[in-house]
Amino acid sequence: MNTIRVVRGVGTAPTEMASYDAALAAANIHNYNLVAVSSVVPADATVEEVDVAPDLGPTGNRLTVVQARETTSTPGERVVAGLGWATGSGPGLFYEASGADDENVRDAIVAGLDAGRNLRDWEFDDEQVALTAAEHEGEGYTTVVTVAAYGQSESIF
């Protein structure tokens, strides 16, 4: 069985891109070239939440992901990024959303999963949501990420 790992990270840095990199580092996926895909969970995959990603292969490899991210530079502002997934005995779905309010992000994820299920003739018997949230303090930027990393990384060449 192939494993999709859901990881989370929060990063603060002087620039928007550096804060994103720091958030990826907190999730231990910063040394890969991330390739975003749409939101289908293959039938032969399991989804598991982990604190941080394990070693997924050599630095610089391509890593397939579904990701949610949100960034702010406003002191005191909250940022939230979340993924939800619906799975069953066959294929499943991810849905991502982000914003400034946990409940609104969760509601958007659940609504997206409902809509996605209605488009498919698949069986779903499990639904989960993972949120990452932080409040920006001080200077620079804060980014939050929630990422589903598909399996091991692969050579980019």
For 22-37, how does the pLDDT look when each residue is reduced to its tens digit (9 = 90+)?
A: 999 999 999 999 999 9
Select from 100, 99, 95, 88 the least CA-distant residue to 113.
95
Q: Does residue 19 have a pLDDT over 70? A: yes
What is the dotted CATH code of the domain comprising 2-150?
A: 3.50.20.10
Average pLDDT over residues 46-69: 97
For 90-123, how does the pLDDT look when each residue is reduced to its tens digit (9 = 90+)?
A: 999 999 999 999 999 999 999 999 999 999 999 9
The answer to whether 145 touches 20, Cβ cutoff 8 Å, is yes
Domain map (residue ranges) of the chain: 2-150
The answer to whether 143 touches 154, Cβ cutoff 8 Å, is no
Label residue 1 by pLDDT band (50, 70, 90): low
Select from 86, 87, 108 the least CA-distant residue to 97.
108
The pTM is what?
Answer: 0.96
Q: Does residue 12 have a pLDDT over 90? A: yes
Kindly report the average pLDDT of the chain as a whole number.
Answer: 97
